[in-house]
Amino acid sequence: MAEERIASLERNTKETRIAAELNVDGKGRADIATGIPFFDHMLTLFAGHGLFDLTVKADGDIEVDYHHTVEDVGIVLGELFKKALGDKSGITRYGFFILPMDECLTRVAIDLGNRPYLAYKVSAPTSYVRDFNIILIKEFCRGFSNSLGANLHIELEYGEEPHHIVESIFKCMARAIDAASRIDPRMEGRLPSTKGML
C-alpha cells in the first residue's frame, strides 16, 4: 500500500498566523479562509484542479495590506508540498500545462528538483480585481517556489481581464504540479535524478 503523502503545518510571525493541511493525493476538497475572498477563490480552484485536499486558515495583517498574507500562504503551501513529498522517490519530477481561460492562455512548467527559481512573465492591462492587486500573485509564486525548492516558470501568453489571468495561473499551476508530483511506477521508487540525489 502506498504511503500517504500528507502534511500539516503552522507558521506564526508578527504579521501572519497560518495553519494548513495538504493531501497531495486527494479529491480536490478545499477549506480556505484567509480573510481575502478573491485569494480564497483562487486557492479553492488550485485544490480542485490539482485534486489536492487543502485546508488553509490564515489570520494576517490585512488591514495594512494583503501582501504579507498572500506571500506567507505561498511559503506555507510550498513547505507543505515539500514535507508531503518527502525525498520525492518515484515522482515524475517535471510537469507542465497550457491552459485556456476565456481570452487568456497561460503556460506553466515546473521542476521539483530542489533548485528554487521563479520565472514570471505576466502582464495585464489593469492590475486590480476589486481591491486585490494581482501583482501580489508573483510574491505568492516566489514564496511557493523558494520554500518547495521548485524551478517554476509561469508565462501568460495573452490575456486581458485580471480575474481571468489569475484564475488561469492558479488552475495551470495546479495541473502542472499534479503532473510533476505523480508517482511513476516505472521509477520503482528511485529518485528522479541520474545524480542519485535531489
Angle made by CA atoms 172, 173, 178, in degrees to the nearest 5:
100
pLDDT value of position 2: 63
pLDDT of residue 126: 87
Give the chain's mean pLDDT. 96
3 — pLDDT class (breaks 50, 70, 90): confident
Average pLDDT over residues 168-181: 98
Distance between alpha carbon 16 and the CA centroid of its chain, in Å? 18
pLDDT grade for 195, boundaries at 50, 70 and 90:
confident
Verdict on whether the full-model pTM lies above 0.85: yes
- Range name among 29-33, 55-59, 158-162, 186-190 with the lowest pLDDT average: 186-190
pLDDT at 105: 98
Sign, Cα dihedral of 123, 126, 127, 129: negative
The percent of residues above 70 in pLDDT, for the chain, comes to 99
Task: Spell out the domains of the chain, with CATH numbers in brackets.
Answer: 6-187 (3.30.230.40)
Question: Is residue 80 a contact partner of residue 2, using CB atoms and an 8 Å limit?
Answer: no
**Span 105-155, pLDDT tens digits:** 999 999 999 999 999 999 998 899 999 999 999 999 999 999 999 999 999
Per-residue pLDDT, averaged over 77-87, amounts to 97
Q: What is the pLDDT of residue 1?
A: 44
In the prediction, which pLDDT does 99 show? 98
For the segment 58-66, the average pLDDT, to the nearest whole number, is 96
pLDDT the model gives residue 197: 81
Q: How far apart are CA 122 and CA 165, in angstroms?
A: 8
pLDDT of 13 strictly over 90: yes
Q: 120 exposed, middle or buried (CB, 10 Å; 0-12, 13-18, 19+)? A: middle
